[in-house]
Amino acid sequence: MSRFATFLVITMLCGIAAAQKPIVQLPKTYINTTYAQPSGTTWLVHSSPQLNSAINASVPGDMIVLDAGVTYSGNFHIPSKSNPNNKWIYVVSSALNKLPVAHRVSPSDAANMPRIVTPNVTAAIIFDGGANHWRFAGIEVTSTSTYVPSPTVSPNGYTYFLVGSQSFPTPLPDSITFDRCYIHGSPTQDVAQGIIGSGSNYAVVDSYISGIHASGQDTQAFLAFDTPGPIKLFDNYLEAAGENVMFGGSGKNNNRGVPSDIEARNNYLYKPLSWAKSGLGGTLAPNNQWVAKNAFELKSAQRVLIDGNVIENVWAAGQSGFAILLTVRTSQSGDFAVVNDVTITNNVLKNVVSGFNTSAKDDECGPGGGYPDCKNAGSQDRWNIADNLILFYDPTRPGGARNIGLQVGGGMDRINNTPGTLRDVVFQHNTMVSAASTPCAYSVFFSANGQAPPFPVPLTSNLWVVDNAFCRQPTGDWGLRGTSGLTQYMGAPASLDSRYAGNVMYFPTGDKIQVFPVHNYASTVPFIYVNPIGGNYQLASPYWTDTTDGALAGVSASKLSPPSLTASAALSIMRR
């Protein structure tokens, strides 16, 4: 055999064995939100005109103190100020010492907060281009708008957003922090966005954003699209009918880059079940008042950490009921949009119709996709989805639909008329629990992008599905199952033995047990959990440790309930 032939054989063999788990980048920078009270002039503000004056006359290093219990009505513009030393201006409650320290506030704390209120459709707090180094602490922000877009839309009053910037401020605001603030609409007051985070170094910590909903449009508790990052969302309550949190999805090519270096940790993303109905205050057809979609959506983002959050209540209404969407949208976010380097770990997805929905390409971009001027269908790469618990919504309830843990979709590149390929994804140590003893529809479902097997364009490339506790065997379009099916769905690179391993799968009556790669376990007996009443869904049976890392298959309770720390140690870790 020639040296070239020997080299070719070795290269081919190495290629077969060369599958490597993706290495996902975490955020490159994190925002330090430690409270550090300025030492400059203190402005005592007792009325709306005085607040306007203090905002304009203060200099970096000053503090503006608002009276708890007093209402300040208006649209308050935060101007750009010369700030060569990057000093902060704090706007705080006079009763800040009565609010929790480094802990999330709630509506019950409003008595110790001043109220900044917009009386109209325009935001209460507006950051002008170049505004920088402003921290709002212990402030309530809401609306009393009487603007009615039409008799059938927001009949009691509507506001675009409560906090943010008008479109594309120049330069972008920088270093903005909301700390222990209560930002909200109401059952009779529609607000489209709580905060629009157009800016760099934008943080929301220990805050409570609620009552975000509107008729006939998407709504978000926190939305950021025109931002290079970094962004920090820590220990907040985030309630919205549409997407509780979304990055990308607007601005198109006017955006200044991809939202980057995003930290979303220890938040509670919630939709009240009282909204899962038809009629007034509801989101279900045929007479829904508001639009309900998902909890966390990335349409343009990179280097994202979504860790330690609780997502509760996502049903099928304006969308099919997925809690988290990882779907690049260049059509809406700009031709440069990507969804790259995403880490989703240690989260509880509670009472959700489905878990994760994915797309590698934007099928809305280009001719036939709804956005004909879009020039690039985008891309995705390097995701780690690990140690998450998915507790499914009962599909027989209002808003119920088939339960899917992970939907694998490549999308369609209409610019090049080619199906997309989802690449470099790890799905590891996740547990899916069916509702009311009803087997889930699909633990993992593979979309074929309109292709027929054998698929000419791979559905996935370097997908790792390992060490999970599945409520049902994986399948997908064309109903393929077992090793032969996974070879079609996960065939690139060729070997499956390392990339589909360590999983336990429940097979309810009527499901045929297929042949799977070694180191996976099929059970016809329902799973038993350590203490489901107490929220511990670690597997008690089957106790399967023939996994890729030797740990018990599925989620570990310790990952969802970190060990106790001293207060100082916890704060040093959480606050950075």
pLDDT digits (tens, 9 = 90+) for 288-323: 999 999 999 999 999 999 999 999 999 999 999 999
Residues 85-135 have pLDDT tens digits of 999 999 999 999 999 998 999 999 999 999 999 999 999 999 999 999 999
Q: Which helix (H) or strand (E) holds 489?
A: helix 482-489
Q: How much is the pLDDT for 154?
A: 79
- CA distance readout (Å), 69 to 52, 91, 114, 220, 370: 18, 15, 5, 27, 49
Residues 143-160 have a mean pLDDT of 87
Q: Is residue 10 pLDDT above 60, yes or no? A: no
Instruction: Tell whether the model's pLDDT for residue 540 goes beyond 90.
Output: yes
In this prediction, residue 576 carries a pLDDT of: 43
Range of lowest pLDDT (20-29, 464-473, 515-524, 565-574):
565-574
Query: What tokens does 361 get?
Result: 């390409």
176-192 pLDDT tens trace: 999 999 999 999 899 99
pLDDT the model gives residue 566: 34
- pLDDT for position 106: 98
Q: Quick check: bond before 173 cis, omega within 30?
A: no
Residue 565 confidence (pLDDT): 32
> Whole-model pTM?
0.94
**Residue-range domain boundaries for the chain:** 305-576
Which residues fall within 8 angstroms of residue 183, CB to CB, at 6 or more apart? 140, 141, 142, 162, 163, 194, 195, 207, 208, 209, 210
What is the mean pLDDT of the segment spanning 317-346?
Answer: 98
Local confidence band at 75 (pLDDT 50, 70, 90 cut-offs): very high
Q: Which token pair is 136?
A: 């709002």
Q: What is the pLDDT of residue 561?
A: 61
Helix (H, G, I), strand (E, B) or coil at 343: strand
Cα 72 from Cα 286, distance rounded (Å): 40
| Cβ proximity of 328 and 367 under 8 Å | no
pLDDT at 150: 78
pLDDT above 70: residue 574:
no
pLDDT above 70 for 8:
no
Q: Which residues have CB under 8 Å from 221's CB, separation 6+?
A: 193, 194, 195, 209, 210, 212, 238, 239, 240, 244, 245, 269
